[in-house]
């Protein structure tokens, strides 16, 4: 399998190179040259498989020659063996047609573990045979940071520098990052906002002599391997609800468009997906884009679902690539326009093409709280604010009554205890396995939000490539 850039002007790479690369050199995102396809019989054959065996079957065409089948199996077993539920991503029934796919049984209680646990092992495996040391840098508003830290802690030949905004992540989120004391993990609290942290990371990548000297790499959802790992649970869930005979819809709480794009990939591979519901909160750029063709950046409104408080959804570019007929030069021109005007419009033809598979809903704070309360009262289940937006979106769209809808439950309710308690009157408890989080020692450095300060800090601690 070869990977091409959405902007058409970067070298094509194999899976190993694309996993280590992050962004393409032309500013685009890597995507498979063509979609692998699964026949009905191949999908039916997934029916009795464990999560690990499903992952091996679904990932094999993406991995190509970069790993043997045995190696891929060992890595998946290592990654998913750390999940606290034997089904890895269990399906739970909410009512007669709605289901939750619980993606939060990993070590840090958010769906990002599903991809990042595997990425950590892929990095280690691919770096083992190379004479390189990688310096991963990232900015987080909460969930990505802890998942990346858990996945990379103690791994050979990788250092991770994770920036979070000082005082602006929850106590649980901060402690999940700062109590990991491995010497290759470096937590930096920035005296600034999440946007400042993200801008600093971008500036480090743009500083080419610095990026080259320390072999900077990224683990945010622009990384193709992350998306590939997320395709697996769409197959796993749909097959359990009757695919390939019965099509299934998915409602996906969306921020950077990574998770829902993985569902799009599953559909392109032949999985019968009735609809993908793009669930947004009041930060609704994607809802506006899909409904009115208006992909224009507004200001971010903070909500109780912070992982969805995003205006520019990086992975939307991957969908736009298909909507531009996979013409990299045409998309590069569109993206240049978007970068200068902060707006892009989708033609009616593009919207119609997207609408074959995608629909969307915008859920405000009141409907989010109502969904949490209904799940608590009607099904005796506590759901987190992100999941609640997915559940509310599933109610809001109009799909045929015989189509089951699976909402992706992206975070454990105990990650957002205050919002859940406000809506339901019940305070969710942290699972036993991370129950001593508040007794553990913390370690992090506080730095001013300047490029000089961050680069100086990294240069002192990272290994030159
Ligand atoms: C990251 C995250 C999302 C958004 O996922 P994207 O892939 O960015 O669309 C939704 N919910 C939770 C809890 C998250 O951590």
- pLDDT per position as a tens digit, 22-65: 778 888 999 999 999 999 999 999 999 999 999 999 999 999 99
Q: pLDDT for 339-388, tens place per residue?
A: 899 999 999 999 999 999 999 999 999 999 999 999 999 999 999 999 99
User: How much is the pLDDT for 145?
Assistant: 95
How far is residue 248's CA from residue 275's CA, in Å, rounded to a whole number? 7
At 194, the pLDDT band (50, 70, 90 cuts) reads confident
Cα(253) to ligand 1 centroid in Å equals 7
Strand pairing of 91-93 and 98-102?
Answer: antiparallel
Distance spanning both ends of the chain, measured CA to CA? 27
Exposed, middle or buried by CB within 10 Å (0-12, 13-18, 19+), for 441?
A: exposed
| DSSP assigned state of 302 | P
Exposed, middle or buried by CB within 10 Å (0-12, 13-18, 19+), for 96?
A: exposed
Strand pairing of 294-296 and 216-217?
Answer: unpaired
What integer best gives the mean pLDDT of the chain? 95
Cα(281) to ligand 1 centroid in Å equals 12
Select which of 112, 157, 202, 342 is catalytic.
Answer: 112
How big is the chain by its Cα radius of gyration, in Å?
Answer: 21
**Which of 137, 124, 23 lies closest to 74, judged by CA?**
124
Q: pLDDT for 2-21, tens place per residue?
A: 999 999 999 999 999 999 98
Share of the chain above pLDDT 70, in %: 100
| DSSP assigned state of 464 | P
**Which of 289, 285, 320, 319 lies closest to 300, judged by CA?**
285
Q: Is residue 410 left, alpha or beta, with left meaning phi > 0 and alpha meaning psi from -120 to 50?
A: alpha
**Atom of ligand 1 lying closest to residue 387 CA:** 11
Tell me which H or E stretch contains 251.
strand 248-253
Instruction: Mark out the alpha helices in 207-300 (DSSP H runs).
Output: 208-213, 224-240, 258-268, 285-292
> Taking the CB of residue 448, how many other CB atoms lie within 10 A of it?
11
Q: Is 254 in the pocket of ligand 1 (CB under 6 A)?
A: yes
How far is residue 168's CA from residue 182's CA, in Å, rounded to a whole number? 24
Q: Compute the average pLDDT of residues 400-420.
A: 96
Residue 416 has pLDDT above 80, yes or no: yes
**Atom of ligand 1 lying closest to residue 104 CA:** 13
Best mutation site among 106, 107, 111 for ligand 1, i.e. most ligand atoms within 8 A of its Cβ? Answer: 111
Q: Is 410 in the pocket of ligand 1 (CB under 6 A)?
A: yes
The pTM score is 0.96
Domains, the chain, ordered by start: 91-107+227-424 (3.40.50.1100)
Residue 142 has pLDDT above 80, yes or no: no
**Which of 258, 298, 277, 259 lies closest to 363, judged by CA?**
277
Q: What share of the chain is helix, strand, coil (3-state, %, to 5)?
A: 45, 15, 35
Annotation says 157 is catalytic: no
Long-range CB contacts (within 8 A, 24+) of 55-59: 55/80, 55/118, 55/229, 55/232, 58/231, 58/232, 58/235, 58/269, 59/228, 59/229, 59/231, 59/232
């Amino acid at each position: 399998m070869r990977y091409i850039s959405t902007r058409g002007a970067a070298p094509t790479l194999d899976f190993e190179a694309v996993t280590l690369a992050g962004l393409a050199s032309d500013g685009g995102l890597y995507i498979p040259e063509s979609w692998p396809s699964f026949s009905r019989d191949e999908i039916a054959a997934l029916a009795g498989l464990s999560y690990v065996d499903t992952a091996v079957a679904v990932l094999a065409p993406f991995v190509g020659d970069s790993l043997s089948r045995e190696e891929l199996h060992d890595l998946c077993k290592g990654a998913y063996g750390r999940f606290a539920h034997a089904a890895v991503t269990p399906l739970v029934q909410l009512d007669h047609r709605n289901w939750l796919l619980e993606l939060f049984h990993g070590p840090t209680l958010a769906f990002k573990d599903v991809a990042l646990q595997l990425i950590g092992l892929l990095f280690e495996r691919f770096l083992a045979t190379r004479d390189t040391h990688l310096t991963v840098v990232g900015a987080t508003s909460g969930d990505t940071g802890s998942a990346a830290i858990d996945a990379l802690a103690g791994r050979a030949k990788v250092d991770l520098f994770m920036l979070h905004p000082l005082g602006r992540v929850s106590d649980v989120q901060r402690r999940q990052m700062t109590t990991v004391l491995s010497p290759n993990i470096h937590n930096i609290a920035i005296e600034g906002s999440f946007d400042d942290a993200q801008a600093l990371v971008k500036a480090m990548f743009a500083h080419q002599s610095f990026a080259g000297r320390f072999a900077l790499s990224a683990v945010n959802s622009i990384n193709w391997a992350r998306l590939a790992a997320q395709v697996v649970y769409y197959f796993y869930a749909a097959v359990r609800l009757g695919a390939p005979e019965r099509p299934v819809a998915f409602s996906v709480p969306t921020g950077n468009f990574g998770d829902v794009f993985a569902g799009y990939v599953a559909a392109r591979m032949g999985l019968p997906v009735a609809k993908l519901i793009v669930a947004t909160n009041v930060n609704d750029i994607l809802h506006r884009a899909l409904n009115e063709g208006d992909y224009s950046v507004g200001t971010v409104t903070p909500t109780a679902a912070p992982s969805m408080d995003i205006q520019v959804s990086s992975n939307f570019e991957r969908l736009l690539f298909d909507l531009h007929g996979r013409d990299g030069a045409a998309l590069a021109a569109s993206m240049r326009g978007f970068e200068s005007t902060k707006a892009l419009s989708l033609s009616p033809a593009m919207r119609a093409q997207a609408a074959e598979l995608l629909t969307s809903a915008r859920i405000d704070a009141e409907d989010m709280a109502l969904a949490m309360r209904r799940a608590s009262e009607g099904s005796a289940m506590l759901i987190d604010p992100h999941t609640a937006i997915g559940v509310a979106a599933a109610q809001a769209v109009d799909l045929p009554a015989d189509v089951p809808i699976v909402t992706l439950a992206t975070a454990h309710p105990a990650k957002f205890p205050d919002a859940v308690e406000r809506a339901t009157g019940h305070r969710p408890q942290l699972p036993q396995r991370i129950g001593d989080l508040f007794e553990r020692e913390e370690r992090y450095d506080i730095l001013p939000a300047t490029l000089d300060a961050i680069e100086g800090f990294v240069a002192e601690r990272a290994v030159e490539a």
